């Protein structure tokens, strides 16, 4: 091992146990009226052939957000990512990676409806996977007959990430990160319904969105038939960039949208109660 970076005199770089630090990404988009997560097929050996969240090692002089954005760009192939990225939590149980002790800082990213599966820069296969088709611990459908199983503890990370997205939708205008820069209120409502897995009253949703300051701004344009079929053309709106990052009042999802989830509303992020004698999972 080399000496620690910028280590002054008097410190022993061997005095601390060496960890590997990675970033994992739960990248979401809404497509075909469903919440989808980006998964990649692993080629390297731990869990080779299995599906996993995109991610990779953090460089020794690289900030963690930078590493997350770098991996996001590398794995999605998107240079201009217009969405949102934030830290979710850190997962570092010994043995979660059979190779070595790895601490992974998981992130959540919100993407607008992206061009297509976007295979990564390397040879891996990539796809958008419906989260309802996955067997996530205590979440949504929880299909025991799911054909896809995720590598490492990525099922838990993804379950926490889904909870995070659903919570964020109540208090923040981040739903606009899932749609194009100009969108109709119907599209925005479809995003909410896909993320929450519920139905919303069109009239009340529209009134809440328009009465909430700092959420959307009307534009002069009107949507000329972007969805197939008939219907009156909808007015186009834009995200209000000047607004605060918070919605007042919040839009609380209906109770049936919470019942679908395991431990709703509370786990904004925490991976459990973290009691000393309890199993953490």
Partner DNA sequence: CCAAAAGTGTTCTCAGTACACCCATGT
Partner DNA sequence: ACATGGGTGTACTGAGAACACTTTTGG
Q: Which of 77, 92, 117, 214 binds a second copy (CB under 8 A)?
A: 92
Contacts of 149 (CB under 8 A, 6+ apart): 50, 51, 135, 155
Task: In whole angstroms, give the CA distance from residue 37 to residue 22.
Answer: 19
268 binds, among a second copy, DNA, none (CB under 5 to 8 A by kind): a second copy
Residue from the set 172, 198, 240, 243 that interacts with a second copy by CB under 8 A: 172
From the list a second copy, DNA, none, pick the one residue 219 interacts with, judged by a Cβ distance below 5 to 8 Å according to partner type.
none
Interface residue with a second copy, options 55, 120, 197, 271 (CB under 8 A): 271
The HSE-up count of residue 258 (CA atoms within 13 Å, CB side) is 12
The residue from 54, 89, 120, 197 that contacts a second copy (CB under 8 A) is: 89
21 near a second copy, rule: CB under 8 A: yes
Give me the least distance between CB of 167 and DNA, in Å please.
16
Query: What is the four-CA torsion angle of 150, 153, 157, 158, rounded to 10 degrees?
Result: 10
Residue 237 has phi, psi (to 5 degrees) of -125, 165
Considering beta carbons, is residue 190 or 253 the nearer one to a second copy?
A: 253
Q: Measured between alpha carbons, how far apart are the two ends of the chain, in Å? A: 34
Question: Of the candidates 7, 235, 259, 266, which one interacts with DNA according to CB under 7 A?
Answer: 235
Nearer to a second copy among residue 116 and residue 277 (C-beta): 277
Choosing from 5, 17, 94, 229, the residue that interacts with DNA (CB under 7 A) is 229
State both tokens at 196. Answer: 């929450």
Output the six-digit token pair for 159.
């379950």
Binding to DNA in span 161-180, by CB under 7 A: none
| Backbone dihedral region for residue 47 (phi beyond 0: left; psi -120 to 50: alpha; all else: beta) | left
Binding mask 184-223 for a second copy (x = CB under 8 A): ----------------------------------------
Return the number of the residue (69 or 208) whose C-beta is nearest a second copy: 69
CA-CA distance, 100 to 155, in Å (whole number)?
A: 20
> Would you tell me which residues interact with DNA (CB under 7 A)?
184-187, 201-204, 206-208, 222, 225, 227-235, 249-252, 254
């Amino acid at each position: 091992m080399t000496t620690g970076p910028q280590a002054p005199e008097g410190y022993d770089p061997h005095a601390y146990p060496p960890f590997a630090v990675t970033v994992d990404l739960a990248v979401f988009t809404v497509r075909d009226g469903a919440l989808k997560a980006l998964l990649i097929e692993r080629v390297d050996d731990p869990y080779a052939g299995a599906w996993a969240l995109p991610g990779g090692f953090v460089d020794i002089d690289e900030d963690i957000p930078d590493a997350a954005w770098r991996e996001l760009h590398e794995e999605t192939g998107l240079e201009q990512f217009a969405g949102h990225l934030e830290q979710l939590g850190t997962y570092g149980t010994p043995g979660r990676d059979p190779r070595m002790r790895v601490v992974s800082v998981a992130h959540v990213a919100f993407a607008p409806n992206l061009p297509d599966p976007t295979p990564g820069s390397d040879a891996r296969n990539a796809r958008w996977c419906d989260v309802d088709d996955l067997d996530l611990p205590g979440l949504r459908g929880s299909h025991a007959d799911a054909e896809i199983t995720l590598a490492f503890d990525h099922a838990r990370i993804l379950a926490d990430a889904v909870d995070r997205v659903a919570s964020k939708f109540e208090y923040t205008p981040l739903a606009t990160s899932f749609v194009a820069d100009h969108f109709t209120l119907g599209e925005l409502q479809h995003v909410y319904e896909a993320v929450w897995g519920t139905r919303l009253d069109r009239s009340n949703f529209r009134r809440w969105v328009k009465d909430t300051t700092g959420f959307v701004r009307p534009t002069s344009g009107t949507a000329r038939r972007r969805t197939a079929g008939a219907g009156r053309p909808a007015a186009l709106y834009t995200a209000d960039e000047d607004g605060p990052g918070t919605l007042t009042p919040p839009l609380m999802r209906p109770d049936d949208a919470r019942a679908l989830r395991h431990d709703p509303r509370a786990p904004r992020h925490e991976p459990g109660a973290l009691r000393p004698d309890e199993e953490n999972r």
